[in-house]
Amino acid sequence: MIAQSLPESYPRDVEETISWLLRLERPPLPENPVEATRAGKPDKSPCFFDGEKLIPLKWKTYQEQMPSKEDIERWFRHPSNGIGTLGGFNGRHWLTWVDVDQKTFDSPEDCDRTIQEWLEKYPLAAQAPCFRTPGGGYRFLLAFESEPENFKANNGFCFDGGQHVGEFLCKNGSHTLLPPTKGVNGNCYQWLRWSEYPPILNKPEDVGIFPLPSAQKEANRKPQHTAKPNTQKTAKQQKPHTLIDFLIKEVYPKQTLEELFNWEGHNFQRDGEKVRGYCPWHKNQKSGTAFYAEMVDGVPLWRCPVCDGGSVLEYRHKRNGGKGSPKGRKFVEIVRGLAEEVGVPMPEDWHSSEKGSQSHHTKREKHPPADILAKEIAEEYRRELVYIDDSKQWMVYESDV
The nearest distance, CB 266 to Zn ion, in angstroms, is: 11
- Contact call for residues 178 and 85 (beta carbons, < 8 A): yes
Of 334, 300, 305, 340, the closest CA to residue 320 belongs to: 334
- Contact call for residues 61 and 89 (beta carbons, < 8 A): no
Of 262, 71, 287, the closest CA to residue 185 belongs to: 262
Angle made by CA atoms 180, 181, 185, in degrees to the nearest 5 = 120
Closest to Zn ion by CB, 24 vs 304, is 304
Closest to Zn ion by CB, 90 vs 284, is 284
The nearest distance, CB 278 to Zn ion, in angstroms, is: 9
The nearest distance, CB 52 to Zn ion, in angstroms, is: 23
Closest to Zn ion by CB, 72 vs 307, is 307
In DSSP notation, 3-44 reads PPB--TTS--SHHHHHHHHHHHT---EEE-HHHHHHTTS-TT
Closest to Zn ion by CB, 293 vs 306, is 306
Of 101, 56, 94, the closest CA to residue 173 belongs to: 94
The nearest distance, CB 39 to Zn ion, in angstroms, is: 13
Residue type, 166: G
Question: Which residues contact Zn ion by CB under 5 A?
Answer: 279, 281-282, 304, 306-307
Q: How far apart are CA 357 and CA 334, in angstroms?
A: 11
The nearest distance, CB 183 to Zn ion, in angstroms, is: 21
The nearest distance, CB 286 to Zn ion, in angstroms, is: 13
Closest to Zn ion by CB, 6 vs 378, is 378
Q: How far apart are CA 348 and CA 56, in angstroms?
A: 44
Closest to Zn ion by CB, 1 vs 378, is 378
- Contact call for residues 115 and 128 (beta carbons, < 8 A): no
